[in-house]
Chain A
Amino acid sequence: MILERSGLRIAAVSYDSREILRAFAEKHDIGFPLLSDHDSAVIRRFGIFNPNIAPGLRAHGVPHPVDYVVAPDGMLIRKYFVPNYQHRVTASAVVLHECGAIGEDAAAVTLRSGALTVEIGFSGAKAFAGQEIGFFARFKLEKGWHVYGTPLPIAYTAASVSFDDSRIARQSFELPEARPVKIRALDETLPIYGGSFQGLGSVLLKFPFEAGRTVLPGKLRFQQCSDTVCEAPQTITFELPLTIEPGIAATPKK
C-alpha cells in the first residue's frame, strides 16, 4: 500500500475486546494491527475520551475519532479530525498529505499566466458529503521570475488557492516557507518563491451535500515579478469536478 512504500505503518485503536477485533480482522482481511483499549485508558491518556456518552450506553468509552501521524520518536507530525463524529477525512487526502500521491481519476486543471504555470487538483475523484478532501497546487515559474509568500506588506499579493462555494464548511491551504530575498528594484526584502514548489490544502464538504457529479469553483491569486518588472496582482478562477457519493443508509442492528 502507498503509505507503507513511503515508510509509514498503520495501526488502529478502539475500545473493542481482542476477540471482537480478531473476528473483525478475519472477516475483513485486515493486515494491520487493531489494538484493543478495552478500558479506554489510552483513549483517556490521549485526552480524546468522549465524555458525552453516559455509562450504560453502548458507545460509552469511545474516543473522538482522530488520526495521528507520529514520528518514530513519538513526536506528533500532523493530525486529521473532522468535527462531526459521523464523518472522516478521505483516505485520498491523507495519502496526498503524507505521501504526495494522487488518486486515480482525480481531476486537475492547469492554469498559465506569463512566466507562471500552476496545476491544481483534488487528492481523489470522489468524496462523501461531510468528508474532507485534499488538494494540491504545483507552481512552476520561469527562471528570473518569482511570486510572493507570507508575511507580506499589504501592497503586495501572496500566492494562494481557495475555493468559493457555500457548500464548503472549512478549508485550508499551505505553502512551504517562502525565502526572504532582497528585491533590488524595490530595495525591499520580501518572502518569495521561484522555480518549482507545491502547496497542499483541504476542503471540508458540508453535510448534507447533494450526491452526483459537481464542480467546485476556486481561485488562484498571485503577483508575479522579475528582478526588474512587477506585474499587477492577478486572480484566475477555475473549476474542479468532484463526484459526491450517495450516503449509505444506516442499517438497523440485528
Chain B
Amino acid sequence: MAFEMPDDLAEKAAIMREFGRRRAAGEPVSAELHAAHVNATNDRYATGPEPGQRIPDFALPDQNGALRSLSNLSGPNGLLLVFYRSADW
C-alpha cells in the first residue's frame, strides 16, 4: 500500500527534533511544544481494518526467530494483536 507523505513533513520533523533534543538534554518542554509534538505525531491518524473485516495476512519472526502467523498465534477464541511503537526507546 502506498502512503502519501504529508506535505508539511519538514515542519513536523523540526518540531519532533526540537522536542527530542529538549527531552534528551533534560531541558524543560513548554506546553506549546508538547502539544505541537503530539498534534504533529497524531495528525490524520488511521486505525486500520474495521470490525467485521478480515485483517491482512502476515508472517513475522518472533523474539526467538520463529516465523509466526495468525494460525499459530491464535488461541481457541482468537488473538489480541497489539501494535506498539517500540521496545527500544
- B33 interface residue per 8 A CB criterion: no
Given A62-B85, A62-B86, do A79 and B51 touch, yes or no (CB 8 Å)?
Answer: yes
Which residues 6-40 of A have a CB within 8 angstroms of B? 6-16, 18, 20-22, 24-25, 30, 33-37
- A59 interface residue per 8 A CB criterion: yes
CB pair B64–A54 under 8 Å, yes or no, is no
- Encode A38-74 as 1/0 by CB contact (under 8 A) with B: 0000111111111111101111001111111111111
Total contacting residues, chain B, CB less than 8 A: 62
- A197 interface residue per 8 A CB criterion: no
Given A15-B86, A52-B6, A252-B24, do A9 and B74 touch, yes or no (CB 8 Å)?
Answer: yes
CB pair B85–A14 under 8 Å, yes or no, is yes
Main DSSP-derived SS at the B contact region? loop
Given A8-B75, A253-B24, do A76 and B86 touch, yes or no (CB 8 Å)?
Answer: no
Chain B residues with Cβ under 8 A from A77's Cβ? 51, 78
Given A76-B49, A83-B45, do A13 and B56 touch, yes or no (CB 8 Å)?
Answer: no
- A86 interface residue per 8 A CB criterion: yes
How far does the Cβ of A212 sit from chain B's closest Cβ, in whole Å?
21
How far does the Cβ of A249 sit from chain B's closest Cβ, in whole Å?
10
Which residues 57-78 of B have a CB within 8 angstroms of A? 57-58, 60-65, 68, 70-71, 73-78
Chain B residues with Cβ under 8 A from A229's Cβ? none
Chain B residues with Cβ under 8 A from A9's Cβ? 73-75, 78-80
Q: Once bound together, how far apart are the Cα atoms of A10 and B77, in whole Å? A: 11
Q: How many pairs of residues, A versus B, come closer than 8 Å at their CB atoms?
A: 236
Chain A residues with Cβ under 8 A from B30's Cβ? none
CB pair A52–B68 under 8 Å, yes or no, is no
Chain B residues with Cβ under 8 A from A94's Cβ? 80
Chain B residues with Cβ under 8 A from A21's Cβ? 62-63, 87
CB pair B86–A42 under 8 Å, yes or no, is no
Q: Once bound together, how far apart are the Cα atoms of A226 and B2, in whole Å? A: 58
- B32 interface residue per 8 A CB criterion: no
Q: Once bound together, how far apart are the Cα atoms of A21 and B68, in whole Å? A: 14
CB pair A57–B17 under 8 Å, yes or no, is yes
Residue picked from A48, A54, A59, most chain B C-beta under 10 Å: A54
Chain B residues with Cβ under 8 A from A74's Cβ? 54-55, 57, 70
CB pair B87–A14 under 8 Å, yes or no, is yes
Q: Once bound together, how far apart are the Cα atoms of A36 and B83, in whole Å? A: 11
Which A residues are closer than 8 A to B by beta carbons? 3-4, 6-16, 18, 20-22, 24-25, 30, 33-37, 42-54, 56-59, 62-79, 81, 83-86, 94, 98, 250, 252-254
List 4 extra interface pairs beyond A52-B9, A94-B80, A254-B24, CB under 8 A: A20-B87, A52-B42, A67-B80, A76-B50
